[in-house]
A and B are shown apart, each in its own frame.
Chain A
Amino acid sequence: MDASAPPPRLRLTGITKRYASVVANSGIDLSVGPGEIHALLGENGAGKSTLVKIIYGVVHPDEGEIAWEGRPVRIADPNAARALGIGMVFQHFSLFESLTVAENIALGLGAREGIGELTARIEEISRRYGLAVEPSRHVHHLSVGERQRVEIVRCLLQAPRLLIMDEPTSVLTPQEAEGLFDVLRRLASEGCSVLYISHKLEEIKALCEAATVLRGGRVVGGCDPRTSSEQQMAELMIGGELPVAHRRAPLKEGRASLIVANLSLPADEPFGTHLRDVSLTLRDGEILGVAGVAGNGQKELLAVLSGERRAPAADAVRIADVAAGLMGPAARRRLGLAFIPEERLGRGAVAEFPLTENALLTSYQHGLVRAGMVRFGAVEAYARQIIARFGVVAAGTQAQGSSLSGGNMQKFIVGREVGTNPRVLLAAHPTWGVDIGAALAIRQALMDLAAAGSGVLVVSEDLAELFEISDYISVLSGGRLSPPRRTHETTVEEVGLLMGGRMAGAARQHEARGVVDAA
């Protein structure tokens, strides 16, 4: 950078942060120019979150310097960060469901102005940036995308000069994401810098003009995403060549192993989603992808399929030709069901149990118990087999669940569920928050299982993943499931429109019929 150029908006030099057991950031240098959209890339655990928490004043670095517009600063807390002009939109929102948009924003700002005045300012900002937000609506009525817009408006009201976005599109439909990019580009053109955290490479290519890649707490490189290929960036992130998943051979039409017929189910918690007339058929050897933004009935659908919630009628859910709607999880597992749940520790596995007992958790019906006594020798062997087959990094079979990284715990859970040779496997967000290597292994395991003749139902927000592994794709939106499309006959755009709740053509007829049936 030559001397006449303005100083960078933010410059980090040698930032280091150590925790008791790990070095989260080690000697990190980062520079974000005025009006630059800068990507911070890295796998889970690479140190991205720690770094942005340092910038936002939530965490204090052990070493290193932060310079803001050329001046060295110490950011004591988020208030100090906001006073400098740093705004942040977190991955998880902090909005009060029962308050209106304006009230939430007033709380967040600690504003002294009246709600009326604030409402006018909110409307002005939302008009200027095309962020559709209604100040008087209650937050619990808002979709996830709308909530994110509220958070963004909250930041913009403080006229930030650096906006940090932490994985902002993980909750958005493709169309909503495109809208967000327009807002960010607009902001950048007005001189606001953006630090954009993501591991979705296609987004970074589309949006960012510079990128810093972290791995293991260090900067391992930088690149211009507009000219680098996704392959190159991914290899920088994982520090090696990207393994390739093997697409299985196309299959013949198998027998139906899971049938859901006209299932409607009221939500069991406030702000939950009602399932409305959901029907689906999963056949042996087939992968059905259920796309959709989380919060559209995914949790409810999976609970009623796994048996954690009972269906209203036995016939509403059929597993392997048996009416299973009123059965509990154990009985459904006896019919050949297996389930990889969304939450790993606390549901899919028990944090304080060793891996042996975590292996036993769902496979106790598969010869590991005799006359009420656990056969710990066999359990140990099973755990060892899972660890070996899926390359789970753990300190042996007695390692506690909580000692594993998220990706390794997930590989263990996938291994355990696949290892029971299920006829039907349900997988909820199987690669969410998992590093690229583990994600590949997990997708491969799902495809291998289908190739061996099992039916696999994958619920995921990751469209790229669903398009890669699924034979059919349905979309869950507002508790309704769209009819399946053959994956190679549909497009991301079409699926995206369905995710936004617009059911086209046949789908709308289906919906109308559902209303009649329900009535």
Chain B
Amino acid sequence: MRLSLLPRERPARSMLWLSPVLAAVLSVIGVTILFAVLGRDPIEALRTLFITPLATMDGLTELGLKATPLLLCAVGIAIGVRADVWNIGAEGQFTLGAIFGTWVALNFGGAGHWWLIPAMLLAGIAGGVVWAGIPALLRTRFNAHEILTTLMLAYVSIQLLGYLVHGPWKDPEGYSFPQTRQFEADATLPVLVAGTRLHIGALFALLSVPLGSLLLGRTLMGFRIRTVGAAPAAARYAGFNRDAIVWFCLLVSGGLAGLAGICEIAGGNGQLTPVISPGYGFAAIIVAFLGRLNPIGILFASLLMALLYLGGEGLQVSMQLPIAVTGTIQGMLLFFLLAADVLVNYRPQLQVARRAGAVHHA
């Protein structure tokens, strides 16, 4: 017997949006079983995971804080994937954004320059752009695929960060902890809600949704991006320069990730440490697909993913579950989403084995 997948003649359009919902529901069922197996009360665990973080104003602002880098990175990733450009190293561009922005903060902070925050943000964007520009160059010059190069550069960036905080940028008064000096007050992002940590980076993230939608849906550039992704031969025929699209997509997504990186530092800890992200850049790939590569969908997906991060922390604190639970749920979400998408487009068929070579197309 052989299981094969046959393409459906007409995949249901409604399933385009129903499959992420289905994936979320299946993940909840899966995680419930997981809690039970781990010997925790599943209802209590689900409440900690999904309800508790949303119950307080503090929780809601923390949700926005966590959704900010996810949203910025995922919108960029989605723009690229629409052109069949796979930037899976947003984590690296995020890190470089944090490093470039920090350099500005450390060197010009404390003097009360009005331009300090804008300069830090621009430097952050530049960091991401530079780090994404390398794969763009390698792709367009040497045909080296960005899936490999962006991912490899993500690991390089983490080594670079480690070198800086252990070496030249280490705070001399930091009791030899691997971390930079604290940012001065003028290098810290303004908060949106007094008494919380929600900073103006959330506004940039929100702004990326309409801008991303506008780009993809209404501009000639967006049309080019979608054409290159959907039918490369048609794009060549129409005279759309593929290399230019590769550059554009990588630089835009790198810039957004870099912006996310500096916002995370300047709006959060105010210093670089060896670990500055719980994998936002990678989780953003799941967010992009969960949101159907559509900025509006990505907004909701980023909130869901942020909730998983928050709830996962809650589980660690109140139910003594390991941090790996968060990663497990993320993995389940992606797995169920991919499975649902496959079943929307293909129908499985079990075939009874026939004589060898029975099907022969002369």
Contact = CB atoms under 8 A, between A and B. Distances in A.
A is bound by B = yes
Interface of A: 19-21, 58, 76-79, 88, 90, 94, 108, 110, 151, 154, 306-308, 328-333, 339, 341, 343, 345-353, 357, 360-362, 364, 369, 372-374, 376
Given A343-B233, A350-B227, 7 more contacts: A78-B362, A90-B361, A329-B237, A329-B239, A347-B237, A353-B230, A369-B220
A328 B236 CA distance: 9
A306 B362 contact: no
Given A20-B9, A21-B9, A369-B220, A348 B234 contact: yes
Given A308-B237, A331-B239, A346-B231, A374 B223 contact: yes
Given A77-B360, A348-B234, A333 B218 contact: no
A78 B223 contact: no
Given A58-B361, A110-B357, A373-B220, A350 B230 contact: yes
Given A372-B219, A373-B220, A374-B218, A21 B230 contact: no
A291 B218 CA distance: 42
Interface residues of B, number: 26
Contacts of A94: 361-362
Nearest to B232: A346
Interface string B333-362: 000000000000000000000100111111
A349 B234 contact: yes
B231 A350 contact: yes
Contacts of A76: 358
17 contacts: A79-B357, A79-B360, A90-B361, A94-B361, A307-B239, A308-B236, A308-B237, A329-B237, A331-B239, A333-B239, A341-B237, A345-B231, A357-B223, A364-B238, A373-B220, A374-B218, A374-B220
B230 A328 contact: no
Most buried by A among B219, B226, B241, B362: B362
B10 interface: yes
Interface of B: 9-10, 218-221, 223, 226-227, 230-231, 233-234, 236-241, 354, 357-362
Contact of B10 (A21, A78, A345, A351): A21
Given A350-B227, A352-B230, A329 B238 contact: yes
A330 B227 CA distance: 15
Contacts of A79: 357-358, 360
Contacts of A349: 234
Contacts of B220: 364, 369, 372-374
A88 B361 CA distance: 10
A360 B220 CA distance: 9
Nearest to B360: A78
Contact of A77 (B9, B227, B236, B358): B358
A333 B361 CA distance: 42
B218 A347 contact: no
A79 B358 CA distance: 7
Instruction: Tell which of B218, B221, B226, B231 has the most Cβ of chain A within 10 Å.
Output: B231
B267 to A, nearest CB: 32
A154 B361 CA distance: 13
B231 A347 contact: yes
Contact of A361 (B221, B227, B358, B360): B227
A78 to B, nearest CB: 5
Contacts of A151: 362
Contact of B238 (A108, A331, A362): A362
A75 to B, nearest CB: 12
A191 to B, nearest CB: 22
A364 B233 CA distance: 17
